[in-house]
Every structure is written in structure tokens, then in C-alpha cells.
Structure 1
């Protein structure tokens, strides 16, 4: 009964809000077949050393070893035919219905953009591109897939560049992207909604506190497991994202 009441409160909050900021984590993409790296059974829990290997310092020290490990960790996102799910389409449909939606995503899978959301802050970058750290030439994921260790093939005055590429993903040790824009959006939102994030990563996990301090009229979270930040939310739902948002979509007569 409590869960049903909370879902109804969230539906009403979404209906009333004009400006909505949505923070999404790995949990929104599990329905698309992408593992949740930070769940209790996630890959980071299984092998913490991979965090070190996915760092900027490791890439600089050993770029040719970095790429096989990177591809192994992100194999599903690089090689799989992953598609947006109900959660991604729900947010795009809200925007289509006239809501001002800002999606702040920790994910690098590009699924919010693929679903049709128009204002997406990919604060951890995207798996869909790579670039040359020397000359800046950009490459799409299909080029990365074709080469075990992708190198730049740009023609320079002195010949072919040949520099090992860098993924357009924020690695451990990098600064996140677009964080100022995210906080600015939170300062002007009616509803702050978190979907599928453990809220363990800083500085992104400062957003709920900023929203709860008075910037947002309402705060809500849907996450399968409890988080250390649940205290900052008016509505807390420990349930599945896809089925919950599908119910809310029907409740609000939104097609997803």
C-alpha cells in the first residue's frame, strides 16, 4: 500500500512539474541488457583493480594494454545491439508532451539520445566516440570495434598520426563534464528525479542534496536498492524502473 501511494504521489508530481531534472545511473539501462556495474553483483565489486586500469594514468602509461581491457569491460555497449528501454522512452515522451526535461546521466551508453531526449548532459562522456589526444581527430565506435588497439589515421604534414586513441569516456582521474550545467538546471527545477543510481560517486551525488536544500519543489528516487542519499528524497521507491514508469505513463496518458 505504501509503495502504491508513493507511485501515485510521483505521478502527480510529474504531472504538475514544468521543469524536471532527471539524474540517471546504470540502473535505468539494465532493462536494455547492460549490467549495473555498481550493484552488489556488479563488475566493480567483482574486481576492484579494474578501476585502476580504467584510469587516465593507466591509459597514459600503457595505452596498448588499456584498450583490450576497456573493450572487455564495455563489450556489451561497444559490440551489442543495445536499444533504449521504457525508462529512456518515458523521459523522451515527457519532453515530447511539453515538459522541460534535463537528463543528467552517469551512463556512457548513449541510450537517452537514441530514445529522443533533446537535452542530455552526459557527464561521464560517451562510448559512441573516441578521439586522438594528439591531433584531436574524432572516430565513431565502429572504427574502435574494427581495431584491437585503435590508432589515429589522420594525415598530418609529417605523415600519418598513428597515436593511440582515447575513448570519449570520463575515466577515473578525469573531471566530469557539464556539472555546472547540471547544478544550474537543479536550481531551476520543479522536480528532481533520480533513476537507477547508487549515488556513490562524487561529485554527482551532491545533486540530491542541492535539490533537497530548497532548489526543487519535490525530490524523488526510484532505485532497486536503498542508497545512502535516500534521506534527501520526498518520495523513495525501491522497485523496478521500467514497470513503474510504464504505470505512470498510462496514468498520465503518455505513450511510450
Structure 2
């Protein structure tokens, strides 16, 4: 019933924006941070919790420990787009969806052929030398001789272009995201618990009356939504096509 209602709302909208988090990619077998049994917070073998390892200060102080964790837990190169990614790309192709705003760094929206993707937290596919700013591919990082990839031009340490804890979001990307959300006639929020700020506060810029929240668990913004669906995001989004 809820999916039918959403389908009708989508059919009546032509300026849809999607804002998604880790739950959008869990159906591609990429674990999120907070799932009790499978998330990154449920880990053995590491001295520090993920939010410490994935912080700017930890990266600067212990790049080897950072990269051990990053390469084993944050890169899922074989992951494929799921029904949610494909449905969003199809809605864009139909000229209904204007932008995908994502907190994920896995590049799956682009693999599904979404064109207008705003990556709030960066991407594993972009990497750069901290010393000379030379760009490097994900393959270069994965296949580097040492654990810590080094620039082949100046020898500097290569950093993934992802937003670590203690780092600010890219202001230009954030401004674009706010602009899309504030002009949208429909905002679909999916696969995010809406507890990571400042990203979660994007919802507050939406001015319309078609706020849809799709998440398996409740969020702090459920009371603001016009429709809340606690179900598989792939199943729900595929159902509106």
C-alpha cells in the first residue's frame, strides 16, 4: 500500500531529489557502520574503533594503520549497483529525478548510470598526493608496493579523496546539495539513519510537502515526513517504476 502511494506521488512529481546513506549500498553487500551484527562497529582485530581510525589526525599520525583498515574495510571494488541504484538512474533517465545526493563513497550510483551525483563524503575512486596534488586511481592505491601508497612523482603520501572525521565537507558540493533540496518538489531520503551531521540537516532545507523516508529503522525526522516506509530500499524504489 505504501509503495503504491509512493508510486502515485512520484508520477505527480517532476523535480525529485534523492538523499541517501549507507543503507542504499548494504543491498550491494557493503556493510554500514552501525548494523549490530555486520557493521564496521562490530569488529575484532583492531585496537581502535572505526571513527578513530577514519579520522584526519589518525591518518596523519598512523598512515600505515589507517591504510590497513581502509583497504580491508572501506574498498569494495567488486560491488555492483542494486535495485535502488538502478531505479534512481531510471528515474533520472525519465527526467523526474534531478539529483542524487549521497553520503556513500563507493561510486555505485555512477556505475548504475546516474549522471548528477553529489558525493558529500567524497569517493574511493579519487586519490591525490598530499604534497604535489597529483591525482591517482583506486587501482594505484590498491596495487601500491607498500601499505601506504606514495606519489611516483614526489614521493608524498597519497590520501583518498574522502571526508574523514574531523574534516569539513566540500563547501561547493554542500551548497549545490542545499540548492537542489530547497527547490525540490519531492525529497526521497533513503538508507540513512539521519544522525551524521551536517549531512542529516539537509532535510531541513526541504520546503515541499512530499518528504519520503525509506529506512529499515526509525529516524529522528520520521515525524516530519509525509510518508515513512520501513522496508528494503531496493524493493521500494524498484516498485515505483
TM-score by length of 2: 0.92
Cα root mean square deviation, aligned: 1.5
Q: Is the counterpart of residue 195 in structure 1 residue 187 in structure 2?
A: no
Q: 2:178 pairs with 166, 171, 183, which one?
A: 183
In the other structure, the counterpart of 1:174 is 167
Pairing 1:27-38 to 2, within 5 Å after superposition:
27-38=23-34
Is the 1:208–1:233 Cα contact (8 Å) retained in structure 2?
no
Q: Which has more helix, going by share of residues? A: 1
Q: Distance in 1 between matches of 2:221 and 2:126?
A: 32
| Deviation >6 Å, runs of 4+ | none
Q: Provide structure 1 residue ranges, at least 5 long, that are not aligned to the other structure.
A: 155-160, 250-256
Pairing 1:49-68 to 2, within 5 Å after superposition:
49-68=49-68
In the other structure, the counterpart of 2:109 is 112
Moved more, 45-54 or 201-210: 45-54
1:159-213 Cα shifts (integer Å, max 9, x gaps): xx111110111100111231111111111100010110011100111122222xx
Q: Distance in 2 between matches of 1:85 and 1:240?
A: 11
Q: CA deviation at 1:216?
A: 2.1
Is the 2:88–2:97 Cα contact (8 Å) retained in structure 1?
no
Q: Which structure is larger by alpha-carbon Rg, 1 or 2?
A: 1
Pairing 1:193-232 to 2, within 5 Å after superposition:
193-211=188-206, 215-232=207-224
Aligned residues: 233
Is the 2:32–2:40 Cα contact (8 Å) retained in structure 1?
no
TM-score by length of 1: 0.86
What SS is found at the alignment partner of 1:46? coil
Q: Distance in 2 between matches of 1:224 and 1:35?
A: 14
1:20-55 Cα shifts (integer Å, max 9, x gaps): 111011111111111122233353432572211111
Pairing 1:59-138 to 2, within 5 Å after superposition:
59-75=59-75, 77=76, 80-138=77-135
Q: Provide structure 2 residue ranges, at least 5 long, that are not aligned to the other structure.
A: none
What SS is found at the alignment partner of 2:188? strand
